[in-house]
Chains A and B, each alone.
Chain A
Amino acid sequence: MAQIRNLAALLISLCILTGGPPCLQAQFGALVSPTQAPQAQSQEELDAYLQIVSTQSPDQMKKEVDAFAAAFPKSELLGLAYQNQLHACEQLNDFDGMLAAGQKALQANPDNLNTLLTLAPAMASRAGRRPDRDQLLENAEGYARRALDGIEKTRLPHKVSLEHWEIEKHQMQSQAHEVLGIVALQRGQPQAAIPEFQTAVTLSPVPEGIQFLRLGLALAATGQNEAATKNLRQSAQLGPDAVRTLALAQLEKLQNDKVSH
């Protein structure tokens, strides 16, 4: 159990080092029909929203979303505005801000894949020793499962090609399974985490070092050292540097353990 706790701590530091899993790219559900597009009711409302979208500084964006919400509390664009705030907080590494903005974004659009798959990895990775850890892990798992369900039910606008969708779909599914793996690991269930990380690795359109690292760590935690070594080496090869450093450290640890045994 101590080893698993250490792994969980390692995963948290990983997340902070790498800035968390990559941001999800696509959201279709709300826009299958153009008639469902949220409408500004005045030019000033849209001006204010476009100001948010055009802002480069995440700090400024956070403030502008708050100002927008105060000026247009009934705006149909509020959900999108909070989604922007969610990403701004993500860039600022402001986890509590992410939670607050994400919840508001989900209130406006509960099945928004972008929001679900931005919040879920952050919750899973950063639950750590927070007092609300169990709730965060439960939410992360729920959001990941809701996202997987939503991906299957997604209807696309015609402008999205089948080929592009396949890539995006696999990317999103990979992220969701990665979250389920992290949650399992955080709960001290590395055996349950392994198939989730394996699925994440298989589905990812582009091999990601961090996914191989997580899989390697889970395998190591269950004593499958040969498979762990293979994945950790792959992780070290793929990088980036922060991941590579951790993978190499873990490989060295496995090697030392082997020697000492």
Chain B
Amino acid sequence: MFQTWSSCAAGGRAYVLFLLAVFSLAGSGRAHSQSLPSAPLQPPAATKTASTDPELLALVRQKRWKEVVERAEAVSGQRPEDSQAAYWLGIAHLQLHEPIDAVVALRRAEKLGLNSALFHEGLGLAYYDLNQYVLFERQMEKASQLEALDSRPYYYLGLYRLTVRSDVARALQLFQTATQLNHDDWKSLYQEGYCLEQLGKLDEARARYVSAIALVEKSGDHFGWPFQGMARLLMNDNPQTALGFANKAVSLEPNEPSNHLVLSDIYQRLGRLPDAIREAELASVQNPTDAATHYALYKLYRQAGNPKAPEELKTFDLVTKLYGSN
């Protein structure tokens, strides 16, 4: 996304795309953040203009999004009234992180009559990708009105409340609604735990993390967050047990910098300074604009008498000045 700003001289489009879409849930550097959830991939409710193009649907099933775009554009060209071709065009653009094109295509699908919960979730996520939160919230509300038992709109709204609005109490309510609607929704369960942890309700948080871990282990998904949550809760009183959870989180999601930072913290508590430094360095490479990571690394270097400490402190100061300290 970001490389697009340099093309502003060629026209405003890429530049404005940058302006509108700098932020997403992904990569914010916060411990509780997660990637923006994938758009719903099931076909939306059929309309009288529904597409039955088998080639398009096959490409969708294989998640070959660039080819989906090509095929959907071709189908739309032949049959402009085909709402599902417009829908899949929008979803493919969303998957390819092209939110403006996604919104344009999904709006066309809407005007052609698509009006299902899944459709509104997809459009809502496209709005989210453009930082258009007013419209995002409205689409999620429409989705939940159309399918009252669908937990996903509440999950998305909860993530928005938590990560964009920093409204932990409201986020907790939304995640609780999601888990009430779907007891197996381990992502919402983890987030519920995280909100409880933020609110100081540590026993309740722990219970949610334990439940989420059980579900994740059952499903086999690569979702390390509840393990990291357990590691955080245990690191003060029982760092050895916390270490197991932190290692598990890293093994499930090795590219998540906060997993390495938590692991580093635990190693430091266990007196394993070289391991702590290695993990903090990994976190710093993965998340170079996070001030907390640079400060942790500075402290570890200083503790170890490492000559890199003063340079790391300078980096911390610079990163804090430019990016803030959250």
List chain A positions with a Cβ less than 8 A from chain B. Answer: 22-27, 30-32, 34-35, 37, 39-43, 46-47, 50, 52-54, 56, 61, 80, 83-84, 87-88, 91, 114, 154-162, 164-165, 168
Contacts and interface: CB of A to CB of B under 8 A. Distances in A.
From B5, B12, B22, B132, name the one whose CB has the most chain A CB atoms within 10 angstroms. Answer: B12
Given A46-B132, A84-B16, A56 B28 contact: no
A181 to B, nearest CB: 21
A115 to B, nearest CB: 12
B107 interface: yes
Contact of B2 (A23, A50, A84, A159): A159
A160 B324 CA distance: 13
A53 B19 CA distance: 11
Contact of A160 (B2, B12, B28, B290): B2
A43 B107 contact: yes
From B100, B104, B319, B322, name the one whose CB has the most chain A CB atoms within 10 angstroms. Answer: B322
B17 A155 contact: no
Contacts of A42: 135
Contact of A84 (B6, B12, B23, B100): B12
Given A34-B131, A35-B164, A53 B322 contact: no
B15 A114 contact: yes
A87 B2 CA distance: 19
Smallest CB-CB A-B distances: 3 pairs = A37-B131, A34-B23, A23-B9
In this complex, the interface size class of chain B, counting residues with CB under 8 Å from chain A, is 35 or more
Nearest to A47: B107
Given A22-B9, A34-B23, A43-B135, A158 B290 contact: yes
A22 B12 CA distance: 14
A259 B164 CA distance: 69
Contacts of B29: 158
A24 B135 contact: no
B12 A25 contact: no
A162 B15 CA distance: 19
Nearest to B324: A155
B302 to A, nearest CB: 22
B20 A37 contact: yes
B227 to A, nearest CB: 24
B135 A40 contact: yes
Contacts of B103: 46, 50
Contacts of B27: 158-159
A54 B27 CA distance: 27
A30 B135 CA distance: 20
Given A46-B135, A87-B8, A53 B22 contact: no
B4 to A, nearest CB: 10
B206 to A, nearest CB: 29
A32 B23 CA distance: 9
Contacts of B6: 25
Interface in B231-262: none
Interface string B72-108: 0000000000000000000000000000100110010
